[in-house]
Copies of this chain bind each other. A is one copy, B any other.
Amino acid sequence: MATERIGQQFSFLVEADKLKDILRQSPVIATGRRENSAEHSWHLALTALVLREYAAEPVDLTRALKMLIVHDLVEIDAGDTFAYDTAGNASKSARERAAADRLFSLLPADLAQELRALWDEFEAHATPDARFANAVDRIQPFLQNLYAGGGAWRRHNLTREQILQRLDPIRTALPALWPSVLDGLAQLFGDAAKAAPTQS
């Protein structure tokens, strides 16, 4: 017989499965389909393993990985809010806190408390681990959109300034990667200018 504790843990893991059906704006590179928040979260964890050496401050990789693994679970209830959606972002915090209240409380109290605290820390951007994890959550969409030839940036007609503002946590938390971000955007917007019809 499953104990009550195991039952709670299984219920949480089964509920978490729903994150695979939450679609983001960023594309999968090869096909252009919108990626979902579960596969995105995996890609962030891999990115953290590969780019950790560039963290501006000492980072506890285990805590950062845990944050990245749980950071989007709230989207099961709150949906994915596009980073450049002003109206959606005005209500995002309240919607996501309510989602966190429900989802983490499916777990036994000790685990609920641990994972909720990590989610709160990620959201607050106020510790080295959270700043690193948030920068990882910017560099991966940067690569997705760049290598998809513009992806969601182009579909939503974003300006270079809007994108740079969104990516700014990379500049401070992964500073060695910032020149690559600037280069990538210069190339993309340069190509876009060349590809646009001219009046001459």
Cα distance, A12 to B18, chains bound together (Å)? 28
Contact code string A1-39 (vs B, CB < 8 Å = 1, else 0): 110001001101110111111000000111100011011
Within residues 37 to 69 of chain A, which ones have a CB less than 8 A from any CB in chain B? 38-39, 41-43, 45-47, 49-51, 61-62, 65-66, 69
Q: A18 near B30 (CB under 8 angstroms)?
A: yes
How distant is A6 from chain B, measured CB to nearest CB, in Å?
6
Cα distance, A107 to B30, chains bound together (Å)? 20
Binds B, one of A127-135, A173-181, A190-198: A173-181
Of all chain B residues, the one with the shortest Cβ separation from A29 is B17
Q: A42 near B38 (CB under 8 angstroms)?
A: yes
Q: B6 near A177 (CB under 8 angstroms)?
A: yes
Q: A42 near B69 (CB under 8 angstroms)?
A: yes
Contact of A17 among B10, B21, B43, B115 (CB under 8 A): B43
Q: State the copy count for this chain.
A: 2
Q: Is A163 an interface residue (CB 8 A)?
A: no
Once A62-B61, A147-B14 are accepted as A-B contacts, the answer to whether A50 and B20 lie under 8 Å apart by CB is: no
**How many interface residues does A have (CB within 8 Å)?**
49
How distant is A8 from chain B, measured CB to nearest CB, in Å?
10
Once A65-B65, A180-B10 are accepted as A-B contacts, the answer to whether A115 and B49 lie under 8 Å apart by CB is: yes
Q: B49 near A66 (CB under 8 angstroms)?
A: yes
Residues of B contacting A31 in the complex (Cβ-Cβ under 8 angstroms):
21
Cα distance, A143 to B66, chains bound together (Å)? 21
Q: Is A98 an interface residue (CB 8 A)?
A: no
Contact of A39 among B13, B20, B47, B143 (CB under 8 A): B20
Residues of B contacting A180 in the complex (Cβ-Cβ under 8 angstroms):
1-2, 6, 10
How distant is A107 from chain B, measured CB to nearest CB, in Å?
7
Cα distance, A70 to B111, chains bound together (Å)? 25
Residues of B contacting A140 in the complex (Cβ-Cβ under 8 angstroms):
13
Once A2-B179, A49-B115 are accepted as A-B contacts, the answer to whether A28 and B39 lie under 8 Å apart by CB is: no
